Amino acid sequence: MFKFRLEPLIKIRKNTLQERQAELAQAYDARNILEEYLQEIDRQLTEGTTTARNLMQEGQTVNVEHLLGLRRQEMFLRANQDDLKQKMQIIDEEIERRRDAVVEANKELKIVEKLKEKRHGKYLEEEKRRDTKEMDEIAGRQRPH
């Protein structure tokens, strides 16, 4: 019966691969959260711009304090937007690093699995040779001399 001595190593490599995949998924989750925040900021910026434009187009007296408040809010949102974009860039770099780690872990697993396949193939060949030799011996004993 074939027994691969490095089977525990395969289990370790599989666990490592699963860990790297989970880490990559976490990075993607973080990126998705940041994208949602950026979309919300974009929505708020569009809403603020529309509100300011509507206030100025109505032809009524413009409340300067209200417009200044909208401008302050826009500046605050743009600063947050810039901050989130920087964080997104950092996360994108981390995603790339983690993706590389997944590829490497997968490669290391495949190497050991390929070695197992080769050794199993050699084992089967050796079994076949033994069986053939045994059959030849049995056939040789059964022939009259």
The confidence score (pLDDT) of residue 114 equals: 96
Residue 61 counted as domain residue? yes
CATH number of 67's domain = 1.10.287.1700
Q: How many domains does the chain have?
A: 1
Does residue 1 lie in a domain region?
A: no
Query: In this predicted structure, what is the pLDDT of residue 47?
Result: 92
Could you give the CA distance from residue 14 to residue 128 in angstroms, rounded to a whole number?
31
| pLDDT tens digits for range 51-96 | 888 777 766 677 788 888 889 999 999 999 999 999 999 999 999 9
Question: Which residues fall within 8 angstroms of residue 125, CB to CB, at 6 or more apart?
Answer: none
∠ Cα 58 59 63 (to 5°): 85
Range(s) of the domain holding residue 53? 7-142
Whole-number pLDDT of residue 67: 81
Please report which confidence band the pLDDT of residue 144 belongs to, taking 50, 70 and 90 as the band edges.
Answer: low
**pTM of the predicted model as reported, rounded to 2 decimal places:** 0.75
pLDDT per residue as tens digits for the range 4-53: 999 999 999 999 999 999 999 999 999 999 999 999 999 999 998 888 88
Give domain status of residue 24, yes or no: yes
Asked whether residue 14 is domain-assigned, the answer is yes
Residue 125 lies inside a defined structural domain of this protein = yes
* 110-137 pLDDT tens trace: 999 999 999 999 999 999 999 898 888 8
State the Cα–Cα distance between residues 49 and 67, nearest whole angstrom. 10
